Amino acid sequence: MTVGSPERDTRDSRLTDSELQRQLAVTWGSAGGLWNALSNVDHKVIGRRYIVTAFVFLALGGVLSLAMRLQLSQPEARFIGPDRYNQIFTMHGTNMMFLFAVPVMEAMAVYLVPLMVGTRNIAFPRLNAFSYWMFLAGGILLWVAFAIDTGPDVGWFAYVPLAGPQYGTGKRADIWAQMITFTEISALAVSLELVVTILKQRAPGMALNRIPLFVWSILVTSFLVILAMPAIMIASTSLILDRLVGTHFFNPAEGGDVLLWQHLFWFFGHPEVYIIFLPAVGMVSTIIATFTQRPVFGYLAMVMALITTGVLAFGLWVHHMFVAGLPRLGASFFTASSMAIALPAGLQIFCWLATIWWGRPIFRTPFLFVLGFIFTFVIGGMTGVMVASVPFDTQVHDTYFVVAHFHYVLVGGALFPLLGAIYYWFPKFTGRMMSERLGKWVFGLIVLGFNLTFFPMHILGLQGMPRRIYTYQPEMPWGGLNMFISLSALILTTGFLLFFIDVIRSARHGKSAGANPWRASTLEWATPSPPPCYNFQRIPVVGDSTPVWTDCEVLTVASGLRVDRRELLITGVVDASPEARESSPDHSVWPFWTAIAAALVLIWSIFTPWAVVWGAVPVATALTGWFWPKGKPEDES
């Protein structure tokens, strides 16, 4: 609208607050309607969709676990047959890892990171929209397949030869492998966006040593995704090729190797644990700082611990293969490296304890979940030290002991902080508070229900109960504990039901929150709740690591950005000194069409290799539409 005006552009420095808000809303906003919803590239809109979708998958995966607990509640039960049960436990693991845990952590980052670093949108916002549609398509593929009884039944790890062409007949294993491709694409896309956003779009003055710990954890996580995902990409693609065109990567009879699959899978699979856990660590640090009203002790040590964990994560994968028959000396090396991960993990726990020690704890729901996290996760860490030992592992590997261990690590270590984070950031997402009274019930039921459900599994494992069995014989002494576990799972379920009720109720009727209800220190609280489409009216300038505490009245801001087009401030990697103004892409429906075309190719190629040839046409068409030059000056800048 200012095209042709004498100044050629409109800068925020010469507008009054109300006029600035109006112009920014025009430039960054989106009208209603389905079409605009499909083309929206606002990181908050996409982040919210991601989070909601991931929680839907959590609920679905939870229903599957209840089905398993029903079947296992008594010996030789006949509620679910072996074929369906194998699909159910495969779906549970695959769904929870690929459709809930990793996406939900990235979703939180997609929503929060641009706000926390003080910018207006994520880098590559159209790629971000594309990644969501791909994630959604992968999830739908998996669940539709399950609904029509072609759900994968080879375990979430899909070991060959069971998942290979000879033993995994039908299309079930292909569905699994292709679902992996969908989530790989979306996770890689999001990680690239986050790395660029964190390194190049931070508010002026937010030098590397002033980045919030959550943002550090996301930066390390994103690098883990970028380095680990290619391994599973090679693995799942090789598997599909083995199954579709007979490449024999994993067929020992034709010179392939069965263990190659395990190496590739776990080279991704172990970092995967930290891809889920590190963002949770960042959430814990954030919540502890706010609810003790102090910065977390040992900022540098915490950052170093995150990076060390990220590096070590790539040196541990063989501890998933201790009983596969590798040489003992090599295995011992991996015992040492797996144990070493206790050092950065311990360091972080000690730093949090020190912060709580010197702080004044405020016992609100997010903080309670952090306490539940420490109580539960440290048990998971201890059993982690146990399974890291080769000889110890030979007794508990592939038993319920390991089931207990990784649920302590993933639920205690990642889901509890995530629930705390939802309680913590819900006011920012919606502008409304969740119920404190219900929140305490949710916390109590979930932490109690979880420990009652999963602790006895350690004992079952030591008593010889293997994983992935659909039933057990009456003469085995496991019936009592299994019944106890199944009943305890009901407590856990009640907790989750209350949580969902609280979320839905509070989104409509919750108490109004205000910009900063917790008196927190990071930049996302320096903007209204929920944040406007342009995030910050003016880009904040940061002088230390707790900007909102330091400048609690008025935040220093930078000005000079254009408001008649989408413009971001690009800053230096190390010291975040302003470097350039950069345009940010506008809403576009092409990422949606590209995702549809790509999904078509991927699903079609389960059935014939020709899909790759003919499917290239719609993908190329959609990408051409996506990148078609608009003739506007910002496209050429």
Site for other proteins in 64-103 (CB under 8 A): 81-83, 86
* Coil, strand or helix at 547: helix
Query: Applying CB under 8 A, which part among 109-117, 199-207, 461-469, 519-527 lies near other proteins?
Result: 461-469
Among 70, 196, 227, 258, binds other proteins (CB under 8 A): 258
CB of residue 582 to other proteins, shortest distance in Å = 37
CB of residue 144 to other proteins, shortest distance in Å = 23
Query: Applying CB under 8 A, which part among 142-150, 201-209, 221-229, 462-470 lies near other proteins?
Result: 462-470
Using CB under 8 A as the binding rule, the residues of this chain from 235 to 254 that contact other proteins are 252-253
Query: Applying CB under 8 A, which part among 27-35, 192-200, 383-391, 520-528 lies near other proteins?
Result: 383-391
CB of residue 360 to other proteins, shortest distance in Å = 5
Contact 382, 374 (CB under 8 A): no
Q: Output 397 or 538, the one with its CB closest to other proteins.
A: 397
CB of residue 528 to other proteins, shortest distance in Å = 31
Among 29, 230, 315, 466, binds other proteins (CB under 8 A): 466
* Coil, strand or helix at 613: helix
Query: Which residues fall within 8 angstroms of residue 18, CB to CB, at 6 or more apart?
Result: none
Of 273, 308, 282, 472, which Cα lies nearest the Cα of 387?
273
Query: Which residues fall within 8 angstroms of residue 137, CB to CB, at 6 or more apart?
Result: 182, 595, 596, 599
Among 50, 277, 317, 470, binds other proteins (CB under 8 A): 470
**What's the rounded Cα separation, in Å, for the pair 412 and 280?**
10
Q: Output 397 or 562, the one with its CB closest to other proteins.
A: 397
Q: Output 118 or 295, the one with its CB closest to other proteins.
A: 295
- Is 412 a residue that touches other proteins (CB under 8 A)? no
Q: Output 374 or 619, the one with its CB closest to other proteins.
A: 374
Using CB under 8 A as the binding rule, the residues of this chain from 281 to 320 that contact other proteins are 294-295, 297-298, 301
Using CB under 8 A as the binding rule, the residues of this chain from 315 to 374 that contact other proteins are 323-325, 328, 331-332, 335-336, 339-340, 342-343, 346-347, 349-351, 353-361, 371, 374
CB of residue 103 to other proteins, shortest distance in Å = 25
Give the per-residue contact string, 473-512, with other proteins (x = CB under 8 A; - = no).
x-xxxx-xx--x----------------------------
Among 194, 287, 396, 576, binds other proteins (CB under 8 A): 396
CB of residue 472 to other proteins, shortest distance in Å = 7
Query: Applying CB under 8 A, which part among 25-33, 276-284, 376-384, 597-605 lies near other proteins?
Result: 376-384
Contact 434, 502 (CB under 8 A): yes
Of 182, 15, 214, which Cα lies nearest the Cα of 112?
214
Among 47, 151, 456, 585, binds other proteins (CB under 8 A): 456
Rg of the chain (C-alpha set):
25
- Size of the chain, expressed as the number of residues it contains: 637
CB of residue 174 to other proteins, shortest distance in Å = 17
Query: Applying CB under 8 A, which part among 409-417, 459-467, 519-527, 625-633 lies near other proteins?
Result: 459-467
Using CB under 8 A as the binding rule, the residues of this chain from 161 to 180 that contact other proteins are 161-162, 167
Among 30, 237, 308, 471, binds other proteins (CB under 8 A): 471
Instruction: Give me the helices (H) in 463-589, please.
Output: 479-509, 547-550
CB of residue 122 to other proteins, shortest distance in Å = 33
CB of residue 294 to other proteins, shortest distance in Å = 6
- Phi and psi based region of residue 535 (left: phi greater than 0; alpha: psi -120 to 50; beta: remaining): left
Contact 331, 318 (CB under 8 A): yes
Query: Which residues fall within 8 angstroms of residue 443, CB to CB, at 6 or more apart?
Result: 365, 368, 369, 372, 419
Among 245, 469, 487, 613, binds other proteins (CB under 8 A): 469
Q: Output 417 or 591, the one with its CB closest to other proteins.
A: 417
Query: Applying CB under 8 A, which part among 173-181, 209-217, 223-231, 381-389 lies near other proteins?
Result: 381-389
Q: What is the token pair recorded at 422? A: 């939802």
Q: Output 71 or 221, the one with its CB closest to other proteins.
A: 71
Q: How far is CA 609 from CA 115, 246, 606, 613, in A?
A: 43, 12, 8, 8
Among 243, 319, 397, 405, binds other proteins (CB under 8 A): 397
Q: How far is CA 589 from CA 60, 126, 129, 375, 626, in A?
A: 29, 9, 9, 46, 8
Query: Which residues fall within 8 angstroms of residue 52, CB to CB, at 6 or more apart?
Result: none
Query: What is the per-residue DSSP string for 62-85?
Result: HHHHHHHHHHHTSTT--SS-HHHH
Count residues binding other proteins (CB under 8 A): 85
Q: Output 344 or 431, the one with its CB closest to other proteins.
A: 344
CB of residue 455 to other proteins, shortest distance in Å = 9
Query: What is the per-residue DSSP string for 122-167?
Result: -SSHHHHHHHHHHHHHHHHHHHHHHHTT----STTTT-TTTTSTTT
Determine which helix (DSSP H) or strand (DSSP E) holds 191, and give its type and residue range.
helix 172-200
Q: Give the phi and the psi of residue 202 in degrees, each rounded to 5.
A: -70, 150
Q: Output 180 or 457, the one with its CB closest to other proteins.
A: 457
**What's the rounded Cα separation, in Å, for the pair 247 and 618?**
27
Q: What is the token pair recorded at 205? A: 């003055």
Q: Output 262 or 588, the one with its CB closest to other proteins.
A: 262
Say if residue 528 is preceded by a cis peptide, omega within 30 of 0: no
Using CB under 8 A as the binding rule, the residues of this chain from 1 to 60 that contact other proteins are none
